[in-house]
Structure formats: structure tokens, C-alpha cells
Amino acid sequence: MKAITEGTTKIALSDKVFFNPLMESNRTITVQLLNEFFKRPFTAMDVLSGSGAKGLRIANETKASHVVINDLNPNSRELMERGIMLNQLDNVEIASEDANALLSRHKFSQNFVDIDPFGSPAPFTDSAARALLPNDAVLGLTATDTGALAGSFKDAALRRYGLRLERTPFYNELGVRALAGFAVRTAAKYDVGLSVLFAHATRHYYRVFLCTHRGASAANKAVKKVRWLLYSPQTCEMRYGEPEKGMLALGPVWSGKIYELNLFNELDTKLPYFDLHKLYKKWGWKPEKFESIEGKLHAAGFRTSRTHFNRHAIRCDASFAELKEVLSRA
């Protein structure tokens, strides 16, 4: 057994329990978001915890008053106990249960629930939604089945999430909007509305954080923002609306804000980002520098930003038609 330090937290490691160092950004962003959102003590559950890394960091680096860290792997408990001792924590409870069973025992009681599985979070989302307090609580979902959510594996998307997806130039943002929309529809069954606090696509995973809002009216409002995203492979046009001939109907996906807590300082737009390289190639236009493109759009009164989703893309509050018209100007 050995130990490393991540953030300000010591984490015990063993060859018998999986630990992914590439997910450090996932854990760090989680800590950052919880510190932004919760200004008072809160409860948290990390129910697929492995070595306990994320739950221990939450317990040690946020205002969490009580954190449950759980994993069925019998070798995990020793690492979790070691982590508690190394960090001298008294706000952590260890469990070794089936995740859904554990969540079901904590019905409507938690401020934060984190679901970070191997693959899809779909089998745990219903239980996680029920474990949260119905107002001002946060659900964190990680999906590593990015091929399904990005539209590469259409059967898997339909089977796991009930979504019709295709591969598009904006596949990364499509993936997080698809995951968010799935969570919104899941929580609505319990008269709980969800809004998206923050979403990102990093390396091999998608991550969304959603906030609960109590009541049927809040659930109705949230569900109305889960819409079909229409996309034309021929023209690259995209917009929300009802399915129509000549346009792929993707989703339904979340059409609202994805940066209520704007940790990356990106423009929050309803439409996904525009991939400039692919648009200019599709239009048969000579490529322009990003600064020139931004200048045209700013002069026309639109706001823009770069995006972490794609270094060749732009976020803009223009419609597709408005974007093309402005960029066509000499």
C-alpha cells in the first residue's frame, strides 16, 4: 500500500483497487463546484468510490459535514480507512453495499450525490435522483460511455438512455446535453425539476452537475427544455424544434443553460458550439483566423467565446442563419 497527495488530500492506493490518475480533473472540478455552490455544511454520497479518492477530497476540501463513501469491492474498505486516518477525518462514513440499495435507503435526504461508474451512469440515475433533497441539492453524473452519448453507438444510446443520436461535428456538447436531458426526465418522475449547474467533456468522459427544484411545476418547466435538436449533415444547420423532413432529429436533449456556475468562463448558449473548420470546409470558403471571425460577429452585435469542447470551435449567441450571414461578409 502506498499514498499520494491530490489537492490537499492524502489518498491510499493498492494494486487490488482501481485508481485512475487521469480522473484527477474530475475530482478537482467537483471540489471546486461544491465550494462554489454550498456555502454551509452539507451531506454527500460517493457511492461508487473505489479507493475513496473523490469522497475523501470532498470530506477534506469542502464544507461537507458528513460524507458516505461506498464500494462493493472488499479491498476498498482498507484503503478508505487508511485515507480517513491519513487525513484525520471525522466526517466520513464507510459503506460496502450495492449502490442502488444504499441510495434507496437514503431517500430524499442528501445534499450531494455523485455517480462515477465504469461506463454508463444510467443504471444508478433513478436511485440517485430519489436520494437527493428535492430542492437545492446537486447531482453529479459521470459517463465514460462517450461513444453512445456522442452518437457513435446508436443502439446503445437508445437502449441505455432512450435517445436517438447521430455523430455530429458538435458531438462532445451533444453528449453532455444528452446526459443532462436523460437526468432531467428521470427526476421529473418524482416531481423534481433539474437545471444544469455545469457540464464539461474532458478526455474520455462527460460530466454534468444538476441542481434540484421542488414540485411538479418545476419538473414541468425542466422537461420543456428537453427538446429535439435538429441538424442537417448537408448544410450543418442546427436548431431546436419538432422533427421535420431533411433534418436529423437528435435526442431529445437539454436545450437550456449548461453554465449556471461558469467555472470555465465560457459563453453560455442554447445551441452547441460551431466547429469553424468544418463549417468553412462545408461552405467551400477560405479559412479565416479566429480573431477575424470574432471581429465580424462582435461588429454585428453578437457575443462569442472559445470553448473547452473543441479548440477549432466558437460559442456564439447567433442562430445558424445569422452566423452564416455575418461570416459571409467580406
The angle, 0 to 180 degrees and rounded to 10, between the axes of the packed helices 24-37 and 53-61 is 30
Tens digits of residue pLDDT in 190-225? 999 999 999 999 989 999 999 999 999 999 999 999
pTM above 0.95, yes or no: yes
Grid cell, residue 291, equals 480573431
Flag residues of the chain having pLDDT under 70.
none
2-238 homologous superfamily: Vaccinia Virus protein VP39 (3.40.50.150)
Q: Do strands 112-115 and 248-254 pair parallel, antiparallel, or not at all (unpaired)? A: unpaired
Tens digits of residue pLDDT in 221-278? 999 999 999 999 999 999 999 999 999 999 999 999 999 999 999 999 999 999 999 9
**What CATH code would you report for 273-330?**
3.30.56.70
**CATH 3.40.50.150 domain locations along the chain:** 2-238
**CATH 3.30.56.70 domain locations along the chain:** 273-330
How much is the pLDDT for 77?
A: 96
Q: How far is CA 218 from CA 68, 251, 325, in A?
A: 28, 21, 37
Query: 200: left (phi > 0), else alpha (psi -120 to 50), else beta?
Result: beta
Question: How far is residue 50 CA from its own chain's centroid?
Answer: 20
Look up cell 471546486; give the residue.
Answer: 32
- Count of CB atoms within 10 A of residue 311's CB? 9
How much is the pLDDT for 267?
A: 98
How much is the pLDDT for 1?
A: 74
